[in-house]
Amino acid sequence: MRKDGIFIAVEVDDRAAADPALARKLSEVCPVDIYAQRDDGTLEIVERNLDECVLCRLCLDASPDGAVRVIKLYDSGAVLA
Ligand code: SF4
């Protein structure tokens, strides 16, 4: 799943997005609420908050390698690493 803001896009591997434990963790760690957990436990990317991303990398640290990608659209699509 991928959602695009103006400056930031977030892409989450579909299997990871279906994992309720990971969805909960991501919704807890992101300081600007880019991740939320749906009623069925799966992950939602909150589109209206995407451009608030502060590039803190907490979502990357909280997820398996490669499951979450934060893409800097303002920087020719460079991926936050
Ligand atoms: S880098 Fe930080 S602010 Fe940006 S989506 Fe991940 S946790 Fe949220």
How far apart, in whole angstroms, are the C-alpha atoms of residue 77 and residue 9? 9
Q: Give, for ligand 1, the residue of 25, 47, 57, 70 to mutate: max count of ligand atoms closer than 8 Å to Cβ.
A: 70
Q: How many angstroms separate the CA atoms of 58 and 65, rounded?
A: 13
Whole-number Å distance, alpha carbon 67 to ligand 1 midpoint, is 14
SS3 state at 78: strand
Report the pLDDT value the prediction gives residue 23, as an integer from 0 to 100. Answer: 98
Q: How far is CA 2 from its chain centroid?
A: 9
pLDDT-based confidence at residue 72 (cuts at 50, 70, 90): very high
H/E stretch holding 62: none
- Residue 42 CA to residue 76 CA, distance in Å, equals 30
Query: pTM for the whole thing?
Result: 0.96
Index of the ligand 1 atom closest to the CA of residue 50: 5
What pLDDT score was predicted for residue 78? 98
- Name the DSSP class of 3: E
